[in-house]
Chain A
Amino acid sequence: DSGVTQTPKHLITATGQRVTLRCSPRSGDLSVYWYQQSLDQGLQFLIQYYNGEERAKGNILERFSAQQFPDLHSELNLSSLELGDSALYFCASSSGGGRETQYFGPGTRLLVL
């Protein structure tokens, strides 16, 4: 158990819908990272937040957004969902905003029908 929690574990929805994925980092960690894992694209970095502020952006679509709240939990919002958004979404946390070890949550498996 990494100490990072993600909810829900599974999510099934329809095209065009909007969903919210939630992540709680390890106690004391200030950084939260979101990654997408799909069969065709592999593991891709989406976005990083550090202490409530956006720190870095990766291959995140404009339909996707995220935020980190004062209690340091983070939410990833996916809107206008397409079939291709079906994937495993991981959250990771680290103690700081640098190269500290990232600890991964169990993931949220999203299926868009």
Chain B
Amino acid sequence: AQSVTQLGSHVSVSEGALVLLRCNYSSSVPPYLFWYVQYPNQGLQLLLKYTSAATLVKGINGFEAEFKKSETSFHLTKPSAHMSDAAEYFCAVSGSGYALNFGKGTSLLVTP
């Protein structure tokens, strides 16, 4: 079965600092991996998606993620955090029947 583990349920960064949210995956087949963001009282919005076309995936709002097969990782990064980036971030892997298996989420806090 496909699964993901997000390391760190809470991450705090200063405005302008590097954002790094960690995700490791487990998959018996080449995975499709996703990062979604959830703002308070809203649904999930897709940030980026890995489908094996390129290991470095660029997403919206300046986010990107790198697929590393040797490390079974798909960490999300952004060079400079903005206050508006404060939200819950979910890593997900495409599983059985192509439904998404989500990690437990990482809450990002951005301090001035």
A interface residues, Cβ below 8 angstroms from B: 2, 4, 33, 35, 42-45, 48, 55-58, 90, 92, 97-99, 101-107
Convert B47-77 into 0s and 1s, putting 1 for each residue whose CB lies closer than 8 angstroms to a CB of A.
0010100000000000000000000000000
Inter-chain contacts of A105 with B (CB < 8 A)? 43
B interface residues, Cβ below 8 angstroms from A: 32, 34, 36, 42-46, 49, 51, 90, 94-105
Question: Is A48 in contact with B98, judged by CB distance below 8 angstroms?
Answer: yes
Q: List 29 A-B contacts (CB under 8 A).
A: A2-B45, A4-B43, A35-B100, A42-B102, A42-B104, A42-B105, A43-B100, A43-B102, A43-B105, A45-B100, A48-B98, A48-B99, A55-B97, A56-B98, A56-B99, A57-B97, A58-B99, A90-B44, A97-B98, A98-B98, A99-B94, A101-B46, A103-B46, A104-B36, A104-B43, A104-B44, A106-B42, A106-B43, A107-B42
Main secondary structure of the interface of A (DSSP, over half): strand
Tell me the smallest distance from the CB of B58 to a CB of chain A, in Å: 15
Inter-chain contacts of B100 with A (CB < 8 A)? 33, 35, 43, 45, 92, 102
Contact flag A104-B99 (CB < 8 Å), given A42-B104, A42-B105, A43-B90: no
Inter-chain contacts of B51 with A (CB < 8 A)? 99
CA distance A56 to B46 in the complex (A): 22
CA distance A73 to B51 in the complex (A): 28
Closest to A47 in B: B99
Inter-chain contacts of B45 with A (CB < 8 A)? 2, 104
CA distance A54 to B42 in the complex (A): 27
